[in-house]
């Protein structure tokens, strides 16, 4: 008779199989109950958003309420300013990654710093979400972990401005901007150059300058003597355009001799029209200051 003592050890009676399966399922369920913790870093622009932390947390709560983010995922958001001087955002990203153990980023919003942060994130193999960028950041072999979610980008805005200028045959313009938006203006200049549009002058104000400060700087008079078609590109279009249009109005640059182009993407109620007050009333004097503006 053959010796059957060396039986197949993988054999189990039905009850043992059921018990083994139940144990495995329990382990899977227990693992699934473990919460996932993610530290998310937001690199914004200094002074660009009021109550930035509150806005980020309200957005996060909305994602939880709508079931977009699983409730078992705990997300902790830390926010730091970037897009200042000397690649501030890149330094901030490195500090957040190594010191705070941040493992995902939103921003920076400016392309020059986003370029550096996205390359570092590729090395770290962590995601970066961009809400504005130029077409120079589309190479997925370089920016492997970068996701761009804005419904439009700086190139699209620049192309739209160039199309308006070409339509009206306005081929000589000036650009007005503020510090901290160099990448946006550079893209605009490149697109205008390809369309044969000459930038005669570029005026740069300090961020959050008042109309009085703009006039006192003497830069408004430079615009008066250099161009009649003026493109405005500010980091805060609502606030800065109000001040700039008030400045031009006060120095007599509101006649039909001048045209102001304000590339403005309104995103809901937060970007209200500049001549509307807090209660929705029309501020007639401010409205008059925008008479020669294309928005």
| pLDDT exceeds cutoff 50 at 281 | yes
Q: Are 195 and 76 part of one and the same domain?
A: no
Among 31-35, 44-48, 110-114, 199-203, name the most confident range: 199-203
Run of H or E residues at 161: helix 154-167
pLDDT tens per residue across span 66-89: 888 888 888 888 888 887 766 788
Note whether residue 283 is domain-resident: yes
Note whether residue 4 is domain-resident: no
Following CA atoms 77, 78, 84, 88 in sequence, which dihedral angle do they give, to the nearest 10 degrees? -120
149-to-75, 184, 271 alpha-carbon distances in Å: 19, 17, 19
Note whether residue 276 is domain-resident: yes
Q: Are 191 and 183 in contact (CB under 8 A)?
A: no
pLDDT tens per residue across span 115-139: 889 899 999 999 998 876 555 666 7
Q: Are 132 and 159 part of one and the same domain?
A: no
The predicted pLDDT at position 101 comes to 92
Q: Residue 82: is it exposed, middle or buried by C-beta count within 10 angstroms (0-12/13-18/19+)? A: buried
CATH code, domain with 204 = 3.40.50.2300
Q: Across-strand partners of 174?
A: 201, 230
Q: Are 162 and 190 in contact (CB under 8 A)?
A: no
Domain closes at, from 94, 123, 148: 148
Q: Are 177 and 205 in contact (CB under 8 A)?
A: yes
DSSP state of 35: P
Note whether residue 7 is domain-resident: no
Q: Residue 104: is it exposed, middle or buried by C-beta count within 10 angstroms (0-12/13-18/19+)? A: middle
How many domains, in total, are found in the chain? Answer: 2
Q: For residues 265 and 250, give the distance between their C-alpha atoms in angstroms, rounded to a whole number.
A: 26
| pLDDT exceeds cutoff 60 at 187 | yes
pLDDT tens per residue across span 41-61: 898 876 566 677 788 888 888
pTM above 0.85, yes or no: no
Q: For residues 69 and 223, give the distance between their C-alpha atoms in angstroms, rounded to a whole number.
A: 50
Note whether residue 178 is domain-resident: yes
Q: Where is pLDDT greater, at 90 or 239?
A: 90
Note whether residue 25 is domain-resident: no
Domain closes at, from 89, 118, 148: 148
Q: Are 214 and 161 in contact (CB under 8 A)?
A: no
**Plot region of 180 (φ>0 → left; ψ -120 to 50 → alpha; else → beta):** left
Domain closes at, from 148, 172, 195: 148
Q: For residues 25 and 27, give the distance between their C-alpha atoms in angstroms, rounded to a whole number.
A: 5
pLDDT tens per residue across span 231-255: 988 877 777 888 888 888 888 888 8
| pLDDT exceeds cutoff 80 at 200 | yes
* Strands (E) located in 71-171: 73-82, 104-106, 128-130, 146-148
Q: Can you give the residue range of the structural domain that contains 165?
A: 154-294
Q: Are 41 and 84 part of one and the same domain?
A: yes
Structure-block tokens of residue 32: 């699934």
Q: Angle at CA 123, nearest 5°, toward 122 and 127?
A: 35
């Amino acid at each position: 008779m053959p010796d059957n003592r060396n039986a197949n050890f993988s054999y189990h009676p039905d009850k043992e199989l059921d018990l083994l399966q139940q144990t495995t399922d329990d382990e899977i369920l227990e693992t699934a109950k473990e919460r996932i913790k993610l530290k998310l870093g937001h690199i914004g622009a200094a002074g660009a958003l009021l109550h930035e932390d509150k806005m980020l947390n309200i957005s996060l709560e909305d994602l939880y309420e709508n079931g977009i983010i699983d409730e078992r995922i705990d997300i902790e958001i830390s926010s730091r300013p970037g897009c200042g001087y000397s690649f501030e955002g890149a330094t901030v990203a490195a500090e957040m990654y190594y010191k705070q153990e941040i493992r995902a980023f939103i921003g920076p919003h400016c392309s020059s710093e986003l370029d550096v942060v996205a390359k570092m994130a590729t090395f770290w193999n962590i995601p970066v979400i961009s809400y504005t960028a130029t077409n120079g950041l589309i190479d997925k072999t370089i920016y492997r972990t970068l996701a761009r979610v804005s419904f439009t980008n700086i190139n699209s805005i620049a192309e739209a401005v160039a199309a308006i200028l070409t339509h009206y045959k306005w081929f000589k313009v000036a650009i007005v901007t503020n510090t901290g938006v160099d990448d946006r203006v550079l893209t605009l200049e490149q697109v205008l150059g390809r369309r044969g549009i000459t930038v005669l002058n570029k005026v740069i104000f300090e961020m959050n300058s008042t109309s009085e400060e703009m006039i006192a700087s003497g830069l408004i008079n430079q615009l008066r003597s250099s161009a009649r078609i003026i493109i405005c590109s500010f980091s805060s279009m609502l606030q800065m355009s109000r001040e700039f249009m008030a400045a031009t109005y006060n120095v007599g640059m509101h006649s039909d001799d001048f045209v102001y182009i304000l590339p403005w993407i309104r995103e809901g109620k937060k970007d209200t029209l500049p001549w509307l007050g807090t209660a929705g009333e029309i501020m007639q004097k401010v409205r008059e200051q925008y008479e020669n503006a294309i928005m």
